[in-house]
Amino acid sequence: MKHIFVVNPNAGKGKNKAMNVIVPKVKALCEKYGLEYEIYPTKAKGDGIRFVKERASTGEEIRFYACGGDGTLYEVVNGAYGFDNVELTVVPLGSGNDFVRYFGTKEMFLDLDDLYNGKVCELDVIKCGDEIAINQCSMGMDAEVCAKQGEIKKLPLVTGEGAYGIGCIYAIATKTKNRFTLTIDDGEPVTLDALFCFIGNASYYGGGYRAAPLALPDDGLLDFVVVESVKSKIELLKMLKPYKNGQHLDWEITHFKRGKNLKVHAAVPAAINVDGECRFVTDAEFQIAEKAVKFLVPASSDFLKK
C-alpha cells in the first residue's frame, strides 16, 4: 500500500506552516516502517479533489492522509468516495478540525505512530447532490455562520472556535428566520420557520459546537436537528452556550429525528453548508451512504473500544 499525504501548505494560518510541521513527521514514520510514500502539497481550492480522484482511479491500494483542516478533509473525501481501493484519515493541522473530535483529541491524530497503528473502520457519509460530507451539513443560520466563518478565520489571533462564535453574533443580527418545508424519509412534509436545520453524521461542528450530540458515524442513520425561530435576539444569544454544549435537543423549539433521507425546500434561497463548503439554494436533499469510506482511527481512540 502506498501512503500519500495531501497537504494544504497554508493550513494553520501560515504560508508553508503545514509543510514545515508535517514533512519531518512523515519522513520519520515512513523510514521507521519502510513505507512507500508521497507528499503532495495542494495548489489551489479543489486541487485536492482532482489529485485524489486521479490517483485513486489507477486501482492502486492507497491510504490518503488529509493534512490540514476540515477543508482539506472535504477535498480528500470527495476525491476518494466511490473507490474501494482507498483508505483515508486526517492529520489535523487546521484551526477547526471538528470531525476528529468525535474520535478523541487532535494530538492522537498528530501522533503519526499512533495513527498508523490504528484500525480502519467503515464509516457512513452524507450525499448532497454531487458533494459528499463525512461530518455534517446544515441549512439556515448555521450555514450563514459557516459562510461568514471563513472570512473571520483570516483575522489575526482568531481561532476556528472563535470565528464560529463571532459568526453566530453576525447571523443573529442579520438572519434568524427561514421558511423550510422538510420531508424525512417517506414522512409527510412539515413547513415551519426555522433558525436552522442540521444534518449530522458525527457530533461536532464550528470549532467544538456539539450540534448533533448523539450522532454516530457508523450507525446507518443521520441525525436531523431543526431549531425553530425565536423573536428575541437576546434569547438567541443566551442559547449559544447550551447549544455549544449539546444541550439543545430537549428545547421545546427543537425537533430531533433520525433517518436516512431529508429533503428541504426553502421559500427563498437559503445558505447551505456541506462540510464547510457554502452556497445558496432553494432545494436540497441529504441522504446517507452507509459504510462508504474506510477511515483510519488512531490506536488509542476510545472509538475502537466500543
What CATH number corresponds to the domain at position 194? 2.60.200.40
Both 153 and 243 in a single domain?
yes
Least confidently predicted of 18-32, 68-82, 154-168 = 154-168
Q: How many helices (H) and strands (E) does the chain have?
A: 9, 13
Grid cell for residue 255: 425537533
Inside any domain, residue 296: no
> Which cell numbers in the block locate residue 54?
486521479
Q: Which of 8-17, 195-204, 256-265 comes out lowest in average pLDDT? A: 8-17
Q: 28 versus 146: which is more confidently predicted?
A: 28
How many C-beta atoms surround the C-beta of residue 151 within 10 A?
12
Is the predicted pLDDT of residue 156 greater than 80, yes or no? no
pLDDT for 233 = 78
The answer to whether 127 and 288 are in contact (CB under 8 A) is yes
Structural domain contains residue 40: yes
pLDDT over 90, % of the chain: 72
Q: What single DSSP character describes residue 292?
A: E
* 144 and 249 co-located in one domain: yes
Domain termination site, one of 70, 88, 117? 117
CA distance linking residue 189 with residue 203, whole number of Å: 26
Pairing of β 131-133 and β 86-92: unpaired
C-alpha cell at 121: 473502520
Do 79 and 164 fall within a single domain? no
Q: How many CB atoms lie within 10 A of CB 283?
A: 13
- Comparing C-alpha atoms, which of 290, 230, 276, 289 is closest to residue 138? 276
Last residue of a domain, one of 60, 83, 117: 117
Asked if residue 159 has pLDDT above 60, the reply is no
**Domain limits at 206?**
136-289
Q: Let me know if residue 46 belongs to a domain.
A: yes
Checking if the pLDDT of 83 tops 80, the result is yes
**Strands annotated E in 111-252:** 119-128, 131-133, 136-140, 178-184, 190-200, 222-228
Examine the domain organization and report whether 113 and 149 are in the same domain. no
Residue 294 lies in a domain: no
CA Rg, the chain, in Å? 19
Determine, yes or no, domain membership for 303: no
Contact 103, 303 (CB under 8 A): yes
CATH of the domain at 55: 3.40.50.10330
Task: State the Cα–Cα distance between residues 261 and 186, nearest whole angstrom.
Answer: 9
How many other CB atoms are there within 10 angstroms of residue 7's CB atom?
Answer: 26
Helix then strand then coil, % of the chain, to nearest 5 = 30, 35, 30
> For residue 127, how many other CB atoms are within 10 A of its CB?
18
If asked whether residues 215 and 104 sit together in one domain, one would say no
Question: Could you say which of 117, 149, 164 is where a domain stops?
Answer: 117
Are residues 6 and 69 located together in one domain of the fold? yes
Query: How confident is residue 240, by pLDDT bands cut at 50, 70 and 90?
Result: confident
Percentage of residues of the chain with pLDDT beyond 70: 88
Query: Which has more confidence, 143 or 215?
Result: 215
Q: Nearest CA to 123 among 97, 93, 141, 102?
A: 102
Instruction: Based on the fold, state whether residues 204 and 246 are members of the same structural domain.
Output: yes
Mean pLDDT of the chain: 90
Residues 86 and 151 in one domain: no
> What per-residue string of b and e applies to 73-103 under the rule 16 or more CB within 10 Å gives b?
bbbbbbbbbebeebbbbbbbbbbbbbbbbbb
Residue 151 domain flag: yes
Claim to verify: residue 140 and residue 92 sit in the same structural domain: no
- The answer to whether 209 touches 168, Cβ cutoff 8 Å, is no
Q: Which amino acid is at 209?
A: Y
Same domain, 277 and 151: yes
Using DSSP, state whether 123 is helix, strand or coil.
strand
In a domain, 129, yes or no: no
Residue 302 lies in a domain: no
Residue 152 pLDDT greater than 60, yes or no:
no
Q: Domain count of the chain?
A: 2
Alpha-carbon distances of 147 from 91, 222, 233, 245, 255, rounded to whole Å: 24, 23, 20, 22, 24
What CA–CA distance (Å, rounded) separates 262 from 236?
A: 26
Tell me: do 59 and 143 sit in the same domain: no
- pLDDT over threshold 70, residue 15: no
Residues 168 and 70 in one domain: no
